[in-house]
Amino acid sequence: MQNTIYQKLLSRRVIFSLIFLLLLAAPLFMSDFRLNLLGKFLAFAILAIGLDLLWGYTGVLSLGHGIFFGIGAYCMAMYLKLEATGGTLPDFMAWSGMSELPLIWLPFQYPIIAILLGILIPAVVALFIGYLTFRNRISGVYFTILSQALVLVVVTLFVGSQNLTGGTSGLTNFKTLFGFQVNSASTQTAFYLITVVVLGLVFFACRKLIKGRFGKILVGIRDGENRMRFLGYNPSAYKTFIYTLSGGIAGLAGMLFVLQVGIISPTMIGIIPSIEMVLWVALGGRGTLIGPIIGAVLVNAAKTGFSESYPDIWTYFLGLLFVLVVVFLPKGITGLFEKWSDRRKKQDVSSSVEVEKSYS
Amino acid sequence: MFGLNEIIITLFNGISLGSILLLIALGLAITFGLMNVINMAHGELIMVGAYITYVIQNLFVNYAPPEYFDLYFIISIPVALIVAAGIGMLLEVSLIRHLYKRPLDSLLATWGIGLILQQTARSIFGAPNVGVTSPSFLTGGLEVGTLFLPYSRLFILGLSIVCLFSIFYYFYRTASGRRIRAVMQNRQMAECLGVSTRKVDMLTFAIGSGFAGVAGCALTLLGAIGPTIGTSYIIDAFMVVVVGGVGALFGAVTGAFGIGILNTVFEYVTNATLGKVLIFVVIIAFLQWRPSGLVMSRSRSLD
Amino acid sequence: MSQAVLKLKKVIVDFSGFKAINQLDFTVQSKSVHFVIGPNGAGKTTLLDVVCGKTKATTGEIKLQEKKELSKLTEDQIVHQGISRKFQAPTIFHNLTVKDNLEIAMKQKKNLFSMIKAKWTNEQKKKVNDMLDLVGLKEEQDQLAGSLAHGQKQWMEIAMVLMQEPDIVLLDEPIAGMSKKERNKTGELITKIAKDHAVLIVEHDMDFVKEYADIVSVMHEGQLLYEGSMEEVQNDPTVREVYLGRKVEENVVN
């Protein structure tokens, strides 16, 4: 009898709700500085969920999520920049000799449009690339390589278009959003809370999506794409959809990131950040939704702790982490936890238990 | 619109870039094309080759009579080949061997190795780029009318062709190369015929890695070298293999020179930024027409 | 009274010069167990490939029910026309349970947006349960498919094929690697299936063919060599010469 109560207490739903509540309550017991850091990590966690939907569930590895994240961030940053300059031309444009606002900046005067575009543009870019590659059954490592080339191209474009994007220094020096001072403690707390809520929404929406038959189809595509064709499915459509969705989620994460960090530049979205995102998912545990969140928070917390004081050691550590996770911990931290709880169950319950599905 | 000279120079630069890409892609064509391993540390093996050249140069400066200085480059090539091959072999035995059935995972793990190698180079040689003085026989260039073709670039072109033919000769004309092809085409069958697939895997990977070392050696002719020298070329080189089609030297050659020339032309006609975008668009468009690259291989298995 | 459900006309499959199937005319009758036999390389598996869309015909027509042309459709479209295929090695989803495997195989709208909304209906639940009964995997329904025994995997895959409610079932060596008992069970299953489906089977095991075949087609070098009952096939001199000639002693006559 005690076992069942114990298990109920430990059931996923209860654990998730507790974590969520704890995150919501964090402003009560955390310093502004730490809260801001946590908010940044949680923005990364949102991206990681989308990335895992694509990699962990559908088997498509993208090394290019940095750019979707980046496009979202830039969309938000463009609005903030315009808001900060108060109708005049942003400084870097004036420096590159422009006299009026370029056409593509115009929509970003309006916050709602900027926010919508921050999700839509990355999603459309993903839709376009996904359609053109998956339609031709370019998959596996080929897609992965192309996705990395995409990063190179977009970053080159952002760096090269100094007059439109601020070049290597990116966009920064923001002042207000909807009239609120972006840097004030209360606004930052609000941004943090919004990030937590968005994380919760993304998490539960994705959970709903993969819990049902749809999730089984994704796993089917991951484990046997061609077999799925002979069951009457068109995997290309599913993969394109998930890629698009995950691109949009990354854009959303990018917007929340820029609000809390106050700067976005090409180095934050390039090849190395993009592949680090994959590490978050791998360490946390691909093919689960909670794993990517754990991974994103852990890796970034470690990075913040380490890399400022010992950047060299951090790079070694990061490299080693890639190797160790892949070789010894392919299912990540949640895999460890699952193994542990399976063992518990076997000891606790003598009768046959429903086999824990690896993707739930 | 463009003068004949400019066209020829652009073409030459394109061919030169193509030959560099080919040199890098040859190693990839072996590890990726034949073994289906995405070795993300390939760029760092190039870096190893480059730093070996730098070290040997310094040894010559410090310990050899100045009249023998040029020899350092001649010696560097085989040393770079052997050291890079050795690292590759070590990598295969310790890591990649366990990940053959998980190509995406081997990609991530080798990326990690690449990071470690890069940081090691940074710790030993420092983060700033270091210069390597080209040997005197490769400075200057060939003057044809008003055209100036640097010897260093001609040399790289020659080197890539020599490497291409030696790979071709090795794979198609020697017993050892035949064994490699046998294993890559039908592992079980080769095993049944008494080929040690473990040894062959190790050897193949070592050869692919060795060529990265040679490429690194060649890159020192073009400018200063740094810990990230490999990464700047590696993505383009992977594109060469994707476009060329897997497991075919002919595809790699066409892909390398195609991308090299188009890249230079695009950058000349537009600018460096737009050139990169255009080349990506062209590659995506090309893949609409030939999704599995120039050279297709059929397989009878389902997945 | 049976009728033709599938007709191939002058089909050629050319693998860069090698004609795996050469000018093949082939007909499958409804509600029949139709075996295809022939030596290795005769084009048997290619025949299944070309029908289900895995391989495209170089030239020729493949018509379902006298009207629908299949050779231009993609694999998933062909499935929705009513053709389902079981591959030689069990290709099932190891990380899904037996029930999940049947669930995603089940005939339903399989496009992206229908699937996002998909919910179990009572009718669907009944179909899956009936199928689990038919192939005898009721007890194992919540096990991961990867944990099944080899024979069970084969039956589960047959069940997945049937869940698609096809007109024509294609089976590639369904009894390979099975014990005597499992073979008999598979044979019974095939007989049951043929009550309302056409079943086209590639098989090497002559005893099995003899026991369950309505029609046997002998293929040789990409063409149809002979077609008839097993008895007729066995007595045909050309068949004996090219194919049964070397197998007749060991397999068929004893």
Q: What is the ipTM of this complex?
A: 0.90
* Backbone conformation region of residue C57, classed left if phi is above 0, alpha if psi is from -120 to 50, else beta: beta
**Interface contact flag, C112 A354, Cβ < 8 Å:** no
Interface with A, mutate which of B38, B101, B120, B280 (most A CBs under 10 A):
B280
Closest residue in B to A55 (Cα–Cα): B104
Reference C56, options C7, C13, C8, C9; nearest CA is C13
Can you point out the beta strands (E) in chain A? 171-172, 176-177, 180-181, 263-264
Other C-beta atoms closer than 10 Å to the C-beta of A130 total 26
pLDDT at B108: 93
C-alpha gyration radius of chain C:
18
Alpha-carbon torsion (A167, A170, A173, A177), positive or negative: positive
Residues of chain B with pLDDT > 70: what percent?
95
**Closest CA of chain B from A99, distance in Å:** 23
Nearest to B273 among A156, A227, A318 (CB): A156
Partners of residue B302 in chain C, C-beta under 8 Å: 54, 87, 89, 91
**Interface contact flag, C87 B303, Cβ < 8 Å:** no
Average per-residue pLDDT in chain B? 89
Q: Of A323-327, B290-294, C131-135, give the lowest mean pLDDT range.
A: B290-294
**Interface contact flag, B123 A312, Cβ < 8 Å:** yes
pLDDT at B300: 42
Alpha-carbon torsion (A71, A76, A82, A85), positive or negative: negative
For chain A, what's the residue count?
360
Alpha-carbon torsion (A297, A298, A302, A305), positive or negative: positive
Put simply, whether C87 touches B (Cβ < 8 Å) is yes
Alpha-carbon torsion (A62, A67, A73, A76), positive or negative: negative
For residue C66, pLDDT over 80 is answered with no
**Interface contact flag, B112 A322, Cβ < 8 Å:** yes
For residue C2, pLDDT over 70 is answered with no
C1-82+168-175+198-254 placed in CATH 3.90.1170.20: no
Other C-beta atoms closer than 10 Å to the C-beta of B299 total 6
Cα A93 versus chain centre, distance: 30
Model pLDDT for residues B215-243, shown as the tens digit of each residue = 999 999 998 999 999 888 899 999 998 88
In this prediction, residues C211-240 reach a mean pLDDT of: 88
- Tell me which amino acid residue C138 is: K
Report in angstroms the alpha-carbon separations of C198 from C49, C77, C138: 17, 19, 26
Report in angstroms the alpha-carbon separations of B235 from A63, A296, B256: 12, 26, 12
Query: Strand order of the sheet with strand C33-37?
Result: C83-86, C168-172, C198-202, C33-37, C215-220, C223-228
Model pLDDT for residues B95-136, shown as the tens digit of each residue = 999 998 888 999 999 999 999 999 999 999 998 999 898 888
Element (H, E) at C224: strand C223-228
**Interface contact flag, B298 C87, Cβ < 8 Å:** no
Reference C34, options C23, C46, C21, C44; nearest CA is C44
**Interface contact flag, B302 C15, Cβ < 8 Å:** no
Q: Which of residues 34-63 of C touch B (CB under 8 A)?
A: 54
- Tell me which amino acid residue A358 is: S
Reference C98, options C143, C162, C147; nearest CA is C143
Partners of residue B107 in chain A, C-beta under 8 Å: 61, 141, 144
Confidence of residue B297 (pLDDT cuts 50, 70, 90): low
**Interface contact flag, B111 A322, Cβ < 8 Å:** yes
Closest residue in C to B303 (Cα–Cα): C91
Closest residue in A to B105 (Cα–Cα): A326
Cβ atoms A223, C95 nearer than 8 A? yes
**Interface contact flag, C91 B298, Cβ < 8 Å:** no
Nearest to A220 among C84, C93, C147 (CB): C93
pLDDT at C242: 74
Partners of residue B303 in chain C, C-beta under 8 Å: 91
Q: DSSP class of residue A63?
A: S
pLDDT at B156: 93
Cβ atoms C214, C194 nearer than 8 A? yes
Put simply, whether A318 touches B (Cβ < 8 Å) is yes
Element (H, E) at C213: none
Reference B229, options B154, B121, B106, B146; nearest CA is B121
For residue B161, pLDDT over 70 is answered with yes
3-state secondary structure of C219: strand
Model pLDDT for residues C75-125, shown as the tens digit of each residue = 999 999 999 999 887 788 999 999 999 999 999 999 999 998 888 999 999
Give the separation between CA A312 and CA B127, rounded to whole angstroms. 11
Partners of residue A129 in chain B, C-beta under 8 Å: 284
For residue B2, pLDDT over 70 is answered with no
Domain with CATH 3.40.50.300 in chain C: 1-82+168-175+198-254
pLDDT at A346: 67
Reference C83, options C56, C101, C107, C102; nearest CA is C107
For residue C64, pLDDT over 90 is answered with no
Output the tens digit of pLDDT for each of chain A's 360 residues: 445 666 655 677 788 888 899 999 998 998 989 999 999 999 999 999 999 999 999 999 999 999 999 999 999 999 999 988 877 888 888 888 888 888 889 899 888 999 999 999 999 999 999 999 999 888 788 899 999 999 999 999 999 888 888 888 899 888 888 878 888 888 999 999 999 999 999 999 999 999 889 999 999 999 989 899 999 999 999 999 999 999 999 999 999 999 999 999 999 999 999 999 999 999 999 999 999 999 999 999 999 988 778 888 888 999 999 999 999 998 999 888 888 877 776 665 543 334 333 333
Reference A67, options A175, A131, A133, A146; nearest CA is A146
For residue B186, pLDDT over 50 is answered with yes
3-state secondary structure of C141: coil
Element (H, E) at C9: strand C4-15
Angle at B265 between CA B259 and CA B267, to 5 degrees: 95
CATH class of the structural domain B4-127+157-289: mainly alpha
Long-range contact list for C89-93, CB < 8 A, 24+ apart? C89/B302, C90/C150, C90/C153, C90/C154, C90/C156, C90/C157, C91/A224, C91/A227, C91/B302, C91/B303, C91/C157, C92/A227, C92/C145, C92/C153, C92/C156, C92/C157, C92/C160, C93/A219, C93/A220, C93/A223, C93/A224, C93/A227, C93/C145
Cβ atoms A256, A296 nearer than 8 A? no
Cβ atoms A218, A58 nearer than 8 A? yes
Q: DSSP class of residue A245?
A: H
Put simply, whether B288 touches A (Cβ < 8 Å) is yes
Sorted by where each begins, the domain ranges of chain B are: 4-127+157-289
Token pair belonging to C170: 């294609």
Cβ neighbors of C234 (< 8 A, separation 6 or more) are C240, C244, C248, C252, C253
Put simply, whether C18 touches B (Cβ < 8 Å) is no
pLDDT at A139: 79
In this prediction, residues B14-29 reach a mean pLDDT of: 92
pLDDT at A9: 59
pTM score: 0.91
pLDDT at B246: 67
Q: DSSP class of residue A167?
A: G
Token pair belonging to B168: 């071709």
Cβ neighbors of B205 (< 8 A, separation 6 or more) are B30, B31, B35, B37, B39, B88, B89, B91, B92, B96
3-state secondary structure of A145: helix
**Closest CA of chain C from B299, distance in Å:** 11
Cα B121 versus chain centre, distance: 19
Put simply, whether A275 touches B (Cβ < 8 Å) is yes
